[in-house]
């Protein structure tokens, strides 16, 4: 029997909307008791004074990237599992942009077989490709993929062909599988590499106008309004997009929406080397080149407000590993994306919860129960006789982010070689 007693731990449970201090007894990976004070427990129970620690439902990432198969130098399934576990994620949904992509049942089976070789946690979910080869030109066999176990459909790239998108929405309506779309008009975006505005002019970098995202989003919302197929809007990054989604939700459109964790923390000033709540970044750090690009200050504040009032349902990690060689180039030439599974919760907690910009419950909700709902999964409350699908977090523990401490095979993050506060702890048990 494996047994552990957490004494006086803070329980954050968005399922029951509970934020309280209590004792929690876990036996054989199952919650045995949750009480103000537990005095009866097995004789070999490991007892931990948990003052200052937090226990919440396991974190769920709605979309991230795997290197394997095809790009093992970036990330393997094994290193992805280790990174997710180290970051507190018990469930992880993977986008289909592997090589070959997950655009047919054989590609899905290949990825599923790779994951079977490792521990049962985190639980993996797989997005199936919307279009063949992720090229945005021809639909995949959506019905076949739906029948073989994909959680939903997402290219992870904008669909520029609205006629094709219309047909996709029509075909998917009876399949009862979520569709995740990111919105960007490539012609309006042009060759921009950061959000258009004062900072892009000052830094001499070509800008991506807000309308590149919002015009594409408006078109998607019109199609959803006409056809009625539920859609998840990925990677929302502008204040105007939040406004459009707020109006669409008020009209009853069947949509959910997410932003990514870095868009909540950083804006265009970070590219200049400014980061007010920690040591400064390197100017023009290629790890700050993202897709969509970091917004202006007004965009970041609107995203935070969108989380607070429920317009944005989810904070996704969008963990995007690249090798050192791929990212060690000029900012405008760098591929877009950064890793985040291991550091997202600590940095969000320190910079948003500790500063009282977000409540602890709001943050945990958009990182756990809300993304689970988007995947069609209902996380159980932290109550007796439930599986211990939980994350243990030490919000005041300081550690150094470096190549030795990171479990991810890639280290493309602007926080590399920096100290951060807050760390997920391993749930260990004694015989």
Question: Catalytic residues, which ones?
Answer: 318
CB crowding 357-377: b at 16 or more within 10 Å, else e: bbebbbbbbbbbbbbbebbee
d(CA 62, CA 319): 10
| Beta pairing partners, 391 | 56
d(CA 207, CA 194): 5
Q: Tell me which residue of 128, 311, 335 sits closest to 233, measured CA to CA.
A: 311
Going from the C-alpha of 257 to that of each of 179, 337, 420, the distances in angstroms are: 11, 19, 28
């Amino acid at each position: 029997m494996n047994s552990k007693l957490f004494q006086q731990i803070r329980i954050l449970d968005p399922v029951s909307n509970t934020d309280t201090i209590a004792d929690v007894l876990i036996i054989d990976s199952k919650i045995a008791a949750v009480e103000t004070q537990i005095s009866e427990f097995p004789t070999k129970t490991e007892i931990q004074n948990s003052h200052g620690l937090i226990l919440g439902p396991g974190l769920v990432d709605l979309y991230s990237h795997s290197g394997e198969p095809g790009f093992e130098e970036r990330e393997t399934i094994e290193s992805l599992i280790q990174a997710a576990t180290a970051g507190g994620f018990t469930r992880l949904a993977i986008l289909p942009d592997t090589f070959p992509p997950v655009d047919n049942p054989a590609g899905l089976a290949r990825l599923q077989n790779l994951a079977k070789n490792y521990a049962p946690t985190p639980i993996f979910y797989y997005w199936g490709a919307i279009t063949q080869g992720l090229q945005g030109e021809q639909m995949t066999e959506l019905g076949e993929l739906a029948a073989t176990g994909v959680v939903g459909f997402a290219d992870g790239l904008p669909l520029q062909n609205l006629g094709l998108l219309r047909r996709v929405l029509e075909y998917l309506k009876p399949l009862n599988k979520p569709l995740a779309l990111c919105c960007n008009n490539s012609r309006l975006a042009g060759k921009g590499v950061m959000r258009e505005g004062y900072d892009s002019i000052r830094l001499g970098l070509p800008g991506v106008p807000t309308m590149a995202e919002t015009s594409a989003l408006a078109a998607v919302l019109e199609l959803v309004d006409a056809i009625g197929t539920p859609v998840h809007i990925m990677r929302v990054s502008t204040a105007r997009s939040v406004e459009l989604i707020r109006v669409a939700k008020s009209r009853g459109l069947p949509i959910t929406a997410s932003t990514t964790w870095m868009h909540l923390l950083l804006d265009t000033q970070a590219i200049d080397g400014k980061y007010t709540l920690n040591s400064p970044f390197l100017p023009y750090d290629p790890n700050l080149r993202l897709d969509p690009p970091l917004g202006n200050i007004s965009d970041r504040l609107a995203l935070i407000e969108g989380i607070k009032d429920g317009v944005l349902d989810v904070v996704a990690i969008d963990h995007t590993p690249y090798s050192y060689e791929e990212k060690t180039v000029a900012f405008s030439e760098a591929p877009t994306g950064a890793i985040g599974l291991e550091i997202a919760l600590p940095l969000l907690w320190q910079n948003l919860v500790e500063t009282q910009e977000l409540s602890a419950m709001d943050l945990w909700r958009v990182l756990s129960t809300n993304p689970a709902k988007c995947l069609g999964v209902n996380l159980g409350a932290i109550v007796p006789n439930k599986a211990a699908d939980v994350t243990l977090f030490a919000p005041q523990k300081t550690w150094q982010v470096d190549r030795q401490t990171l479990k991810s095979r890639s280290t493309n993050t602007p926080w590399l070689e920096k100290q951060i506060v807050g760390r997920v702890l391993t749930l260990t048990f004694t015989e």
